[in-house]
Amino acid sequence: MLRQFRGVLVVLLASVLPGAAQQPLAEQQLSFQMETFKNVTGVHLAVASATAPSDAECRADFGVPCYSPQEIHNAYGLTPILKAGYTGKGETIVIIDSFGSPTITQDLKAFDASYGLPDPPSFTVLAPLGTVPFDVNNSDMVGWAFETTLDVEWSHAMAPDAKIVLLTSPVSETEGVQGMPEFLALENFALDHHLGNIVSQSWGATENTLFTPAGQKVYQGFESMYERGGQQHVTFFASAGDAGTANPDVNGTIYPFPTVGYPASSPKVTAVGGTSLYADTSGNYESETVWNEQGGATGGGVSQEFGEPFYELLTLPFSTQKILRLHRGLPDVAINADPYTSILVYVNFLPAGQNGFYFIGGTSEGSPMWAGIIADTNQLAGHPMGFLNIKLYALGGSGELYDFFHDITVGNNSLDGIPGYDATPGWDPTTGWGTPKLDHLLRALANLQ
């Protein structure tokens, strides 16, 4: 999540690439940016231009990569799947966000044009609970607009021929019960109307903030909805969070012990953690570590609300069972999330002179990217994957882990002095089974019964 998991002051890169249409931001624009983005994690200005800078230009001018969709495809083995024609055709991805973005339709077109991607077969924005006017001076709305942009553009980047339905809420989801009933209503709406077989949830609340009577109703409502979605063969993804094990209460105070976020902690959801991906400017994979840099880290750990699901109990070794102690461990899988091993989004909802491509990061990348991945898988299989974790743990624990996943064994997710978890061989509470080798994983998933 860009903001709801953690508020980090953005480091603004004010310079632009040589030949870009805009000059460096004026002092008053810098002031606007710093105030507006003070609660937005991992958003940094790349260039005020409608054309995306190349990865090589980003490395030369800013000292960080900006991986294109094609580089991400190459790094994770998706390119041969897409070239074989498995591009999410016939599938629909459902995205849930607060507020949305007033320019998301044209921004997706600009993103696609810059990277040579086709427009999706259809892109629909629905607001069954109503809307509120977008206020560019409201940092919360701006944060959600960036979140929406990331979710839409990068789910599409991973499944360019899948349809997309964006469902927006007029209430901001923050911590505790706030905003969660509205999101539950949207997801029930999606199931009632059979909008799609894949749902991306790039947001969450610290589990402990729902340990109240009202919070327990939230748990019960979501778990019932996930059960119903499973019966309809819907796959649910949730981002694991951007604060490592140091998550806040409803007042913004960090709990003095390790915590995790919900809905990622639900045993009925596939939780996606984050890495720092190192690849060359062609997207050739080099290495990965647990994302833990510049004040952010991947969420992950042990649930205090949910018992250990059977697929973990039967698959994970005794050394891991000593950590879990019969509770749900997360995440299940991971993908790039580090704002300093970045991807880009295109936005046009800011004041004049401040729009263009932005570096972005956080585990919010993970949920939409994996949603796109499973859209491709559904097409390949000829049927929806539905609940994914049983299949993922069967493959991860099969003795052929390295055929299907990049096993992340370097790093931990301790943050702000709160103890975290170390990456280890096999599954661990930082990156789950690891990041995908999609040319092998997708075909294996498609062949599993």
Side chain identity, residue 260: V
Give the whole-angstrom CA distance, residue 98 versus residue 118. 26
Give the whole-angstrom CA distance, residue 268 versus residue 329. 12
CB 106 within 8 A of CB 86: no
Listed in sequence order, the residues at least 6 apart from 107 whose beta carbon sits closer than 8 Å to its beta carbon are 101, 149, 153, 345, 346, 347, 348, 349
Give the whole-angstrom CA distance, residue 248 versus residue 7. 10
Listed residue (175, 172, 229) closest to 200, CA to CA: 229
**Residue ranges with strand state E in 55-157:** 66-67, 92-98, 123-126
Give the whole-angstrom CA distance, residue 356 versus residue 111. 10
Enzyme catalytic residues:
147, 151, 364
CB 12 within 8 A of CB 45: yes
Structure tokens at 119: 């427009």
Listed residue (29, 40, 150) closest to 95, CA to CA: 150
Give the whole-angstrom CA distance, residue 292 versus residue 353. 32
CB 275 within 8 A of CB 435: yes
CA angle 100, 358, 337 (to 5 degrees): 85
- Tokens 């074989």 -> residue: 84
**Helix (H) / strand (E) containing 205:** strand 205-206
Count of residues making up the chain: 449
Phi, psi of 366 (to 5 degrees): -65, -45
Q: Number of C-alpha atoms within 13 angstroms, CB side, residue 423?
A: 29
Give the whole-angstrom CA distance, residue 342 versus residue 336. 8
CB 290 within 8 A of CB 430: yes
Side chain identity, residue 194: H
Count of Cβ atoms closer than 10 Å to residue 220 Cβ: 10
Query: Using the 8-state DSSP alphabet, how is residue 364 labeled?
Result: G
